[in-house]
Amino acid sequence: MAEKTTINIKDAIKVASEKARNQASMLDRKALDELTVLYRRAVDDIRAEINRKSGSGGALNISVLNELLRLTEARLNQFRKARDTLLENRMIDAAKLGAAPALAGGAVVGISLTGVAHDAVLQAKHFIAKDGLQLSDRIWRIDNHARQVVSDAIQYAIVRGHSATQAALDFIDDGQAVPLDVASKISQANSASVNREIIKNIMGDKGTPYDNALRLFRTEINRAHGNAYQASVFSHPDVIGTRFLLSPNHPKHDICDMHASANLYGLGAGVYPEGKNPYPAHPNTLSFVEAVFKDEVTAKDKAGKTTRMGWLEQQSQQHQNSVLGLHKAWMLREGYLKEYTIDEPWSVLKKQLEKMGVTIPDAGSLNE
């Protein structure tokens, strides 16, 4: 009867884990949609302030510069508070989803869903990445970038427009035609021109505050989910590890494929003991973790233990390139890459190779 109960509990946790992953994916999409609404609303409000302060034909006079900077900064502060509240709430929601499977079928008792969730979020906030940054540092960078974008767009246009206007008057007083470049600078001190610049640099393509915030939200929401899941399932005595589980939507081969495939601890492909799972492997991750029970580890798993280097050396050149990147994969094949340098960024490794006097091929030749 005890064995049957154990099997039922394991099955219940497995089913609940899959359900939690699906719910977490839906929560991820919801959070990104909510973040998008906040950004669009903030940008629309800033544009409205700029339009209100413009004169005839949308002209922006230098007399409104300081007031406009004050108003837009106040709106950005409102946005930041709403954004931070949204992130906190969605991280807690994700963490609660992560902790829930351990309670399935009465598997683990004495766990507080809320307590585990809050601990997981706190752990995510205090996590220091390889670049030395915490969540608060990344948020500050995004906010500082947004502030700079808005401030520069307003000041650059108005100050240049004011100077160009003065220059144009001098040309007119001298009976000369206003040069085209001067007239262009005057036209840039216009609400429509400034608003276009703000939209492009806040919510445009890769590297904008909006793009970076989307990546941060997905990363930290998933980190909170994974933290809570692992903290709770390891409370079960039969859980021996967690599997690094690739999402069905995993877009391309990368470092996650190594984490999901290498058998580093003799527990099976991509299975890690408590505290050793490299999840999340990178920002914007779509992967998850899944509980693995003692009776799932086979004799073949135990005998098939390998290192990351061993796994990488068994892969095709194309796969090595996808997992490591072109230059690090080249280092692997040339014998320069070591187990302890796999996680080092290429920029660091490049400097080390240059100090050694190694000739580094260009990426184009490596991609042929």
Q: Residue 72: what pLDDT?
A: 92
pLDDT in tens, 201-223: 999 889 999 999 999 999 999 99
How many angstroms separate the CA atoms of 201 and 210, rounded?
Answer: 9
Lowest average pLDDT, out of 13-17, 141-145, 155-159, 306-310, goes to: 155-159
pLDDT band of residue 100 (cuts 50, 70, 90) is very high
CA angle at residue 191 from 163 to 70, to 5 degrees? 80
pLDDT at 171 over 70: no
pLDDT at 187 over 60: no
Q: How far apart are the first and last CA of the chain?
A: 61
**What's the mean pLDDT in 101-110?**
71
Alpha helices (runs of H) in the chain, residue ranges in sequence order: 2-53, 65-99, 113-126, 135-173, 180-188, 191-203, 209-233, 255-261, 299-303, 308-313, 317-324, 326-334, 346-355, 363-366
The domain spans of the chain are 2-212, 238-306, 310-366
How many angstroms separate the CA atoms of 242 and 289, rounded?
Answer: 6
pLDDT band of residue 161 (cuts 50, 70, 90) is very low
- Nearest Cα to Cα of residue 224 among 128, 127, 121: 121
The position carrying tokens 């994969």 is: 329
How many angstroms separate the CA atoms of 7 and 9, rounded?
Answer: 5
